[in-house]
Amino acid sequence: MLLEAVYHQPKSQYAYAYDNETLHIRVRTGRGDMDRVSIVWGDKYHFTEDTVTTTDMYIFAQDELFDYYQAEVKPPFRRFAYAFRFEKGSRTVFWNETGFTEGKLASGGVGMLWSPSGMFEFPFLNETDVARPPEWVKDAVFYQIFPERFENGDPSLTPEGAEAWTPDAVPQRDNFFGGDLQGVINRLDYLQDLGITCIYFTPFFEAYSNHKYDTIDYLKVDPQFGDNEKAKELVEKAHEKGIRVMLDAVFNHSGYYFPPFQDVLKHGKYSRFRDWFHIRSYPLANDPLNYDTFGFVPEMPKLNTEHPEVKAYLLETARYWIEDIGADGWRLDVANEVDHRFWREFRDVVKTANPDAYILGEIWHNSLAWLGGDQFDAVMNYPVTNSILDFFVKDEIDAENFMGRLDAIQVSYPKQANEAAFNLLDSHDTPRLLTIADGNKKRMKLAALFQLTFTGAPCIYYGDEVGMDGGADPGCRKPMIWDETAQDHDLFGFYKDMIALRKENRAFRDGSFQFLSAEKGADTVVYERSDEKNRFVILMNKGSRRQKVRLADEAGRTYEEVFGSRSAEVKNRRLD
């Protein structure tokens, strides 16, 4: 046994409450190392050889180096003391906090009278600590709208010097096209037809730039887009069509023209707003920077989210758009650079305003520290983005590696965070999917199909569905193509069908996910998604040649085509 490979951490993604009754317990071992892994558990106040239960664990994920085992358990009194039992050949090893012991479960230490010492513990399942993302997120199909570029519905608001809204328009860092909220209202039918159930808006609050990530007033719709009444109308009309609305909270930093920052620029250390930012000396200077900023951008001063006035202002912002305007969630820009303490208070405010609001962090790296139930419901799932792109689109990894990376992500977080994850393939921050695919629509479709059939909520970047392309910012921010002669109708039909498939079948949203084939060097993957009602088997081949795949235990099963009317039985190990 490779004991160095064995890993577990109590009260982490390896031991968490999934709901008010159920704990998920995981343990990692070397790949293929163990014959059998089980968990020996009981109530810490009544833990004897007679009262403990032994529960088998199953491999629920694998990567290159490791097997990850899981078991789901329901401790009757919500207290859970446990150890692991590993079996390999004739050898049995137990593991708890006292270490590994051969053959028998050890306890150690002075202990209390009535309790074993040295066990791992999940001491009590308190309901308030259970991470519970909103149920609707599992069922959602998101659509990201960059407001300046989706549709011009009110020409009276169009900025002076705005460029013509044509399919061949060229977005620049600083040009405008005239998109606005009325434009989105006008196109709600389009979104409903496509099957969208939630719009994610990049910021539409008053700001200087075209991307509006440099906020001037967090409580006001940018006049180029409309006003707060229009935002409320938009939310209400979207809700009528079964479409929710998620907004973008840029709380890490303000814009250059944010009045408190202007006040500091003007009055320096005498400004009453000086502590709203992180300033090291006066007057403010750029080279070297003597105040904290987003990246090294002097125009985006980092907000001091530890300051009571800043907190009050931003938390009122958080409340206002949810409670007064009716928005259904917040996507948190640069969420990882704001203090955890702020996000805990933010969560309280948002969930008080609407317990069903979705809190989504923009974090590009491992996000465990934000997903304990006290901060975010989920994060933007860039590790999944990258895995899908690397396998289907860029052809950089093989099926085995693809499976390993996706499985590793499943292990990185509690299950509920993965179920509510925000799975995107591109955005206003990246090149468009079709461009990453070098215009190869087949690869693009494979990537989108995987995204739309995987665990977690998919998000489509506006216009991908009609074949829009574009490189990194600003290229990916072209005005939406509404000219039907310039739209890709085949692609639109594909997206519409796949979205409908996901929405019509719970198995794709809430069912189990398992790879059936993902071999070393292979271009093909096969996976299943199933619930009590249906079992879907998806076979995907990203190569240019016809492939055969071998699946275990399929003999005698009958398959029906999802898009088509054929059905066939597996006979003589073949499905024809």
Binding residues among 44-63 for a second copy as defined by CB under 8 A:
45-46
Identified binder of a second copy from the candidate list 67, 400, 419, 426, rule CB under 8 A: 426
Of 9, 11, 60, the C-alpha closest to 403 is 60
Contact 205, 318 (CB under 8 A): no
Binding mask 233-262 for a second copy (x = CB under 8 A): ------------------------------
Residue 26 phi, psi dihedral angles, 5° rounding: -125, 155
- Between CA 430 and CA 433, with CA 432 as vertex, the angle to 5 degrees is 115
114 binds a second copy (CB under 8 A): yes
333 an active-site residue?
A: yes
Based on CB atoms, which residue is closest to a second copy, 172 or 547? 172
270 binds a second copy (CB under 8 A): no
Based on CB atoms, which residue is closest to a second copy, 341 or 574? 341
32 binds a second copy (CB under 8 A): no
Phi-psi region of 376 (alpha: psi -120 to 50; beta: other; left: phi over 0): beta
Identified binder of a second copy from the candidate list 90, 113, 553, 558, rule CB under 8 A: 113
Spatial CB neighbours of 537, under 8 Å, sequence gap ≥ 6: 516, 526, 527, 528, 551, 559
Distance, in Å, from the CA atom of 202 to the CA atom of 183, rounded to the nearest integer, reads 15
Based on CB atoms, which residue is closest to a second copy, 114 or 563? 114
Is omega for the bond preceding 283 within 30 degrees of 0, making it cis? yes
- Give the helix/strand (H/E) hosting 433: helix 433-436
Based on CB atoms, which residue is closest to a second copy, 191 or 389? 389
DSSP letter for 274, please.
Answer: G
Of 67, 206, 362, 464, the catalytic one is 362
Whole-number minimum distance, CB 343 to a second copy, in Å? 10
534-553 residues near a second copy, rule: CB under 8 A = none
352 binds a second copy (CB under 8 A): no
Distance, in Å, from the CA atom of 171 to the CA atom of 183, rounded to the nearest integer, reads 18
429 binds a second copy (CB under 8 A): yes
Whole-number minimum distance, CB 30 to a second copy, in Å? 5
Helix 489-504 vs helix 441-453: crossing angle, to nearest 10? 20
Tokens coding 26: 């995981």
Distance, in Å, from the CA atom of 518 to the CA atom of 63, rounded to the nearest integer, reads 11
Identified binder of a second copy from the candidate list 228, 386, 530, 541, rule CB under 8 A: 386
385 binds a second copy (CB under 8 A): yes
Binding mask 287-306 for a second copy (x = CB under 8 A): -----x--xx--------xx
Of 166, 330, 314, the C-alpha closest to 252 is 314
Of 333, 407, 464, 469, the catalytic one is 333
160 an active-site residue?
A: no
Distance, in Å, from the CA atom of 372 to the CA atom of 370, rounded to the nearest integer, reads 6
Identified binder of a second copy from the candidate list 129, 275, 395, 519, rule CB under 8 A: 129
Count how many Cα atoms sit within 13 Å of the Cα of residue 531 in the half-sphere of its side chain. 11
Whole-number minimum distance, CB 545 to a second copy, in Å? 27
Q: Which residue has the tokens 């009609």?
A: 466
Distance, in Å, from the CA atom of 390 to the CA atom of 398, rounded to the nearest integer, reads 9
Identified binder of a second copy from the candidate list 159, 268, 298, 431, rule CB under 8 A: 431
Identified binder of a second copy from the candidate list 62, 202, 215, 430, rule CB under 8 A: 430
115 binds a second copy (CB under 8 A): yes
Tokens coding 163: 């460029």
280 binds a second copy (CB under 8 A): no
127 binds a second copy (CB under 8 A): yes
Binding mask 308-347 for a second copy (x = CB under 8 A): ----------------------------xxxxxxx-x---
462-491 residues near a second copy, rule: CB under 8 A = 472-473
Q: What is the CA radius of gyration of the chain?
A: 26
434-463 residues near a second copy, rule: CB under 8 A = 436
Whole-number minimum distance, CB 562 to a second copy, in Å? 30
Beta strands 329-332 and 358-361: pairing type? parallel
Helix (H, G, I), strand (E, B) or coil at 76: coil
121 binds a second copy (CB under 8 A): yes
Catalytic residues: 333, 362
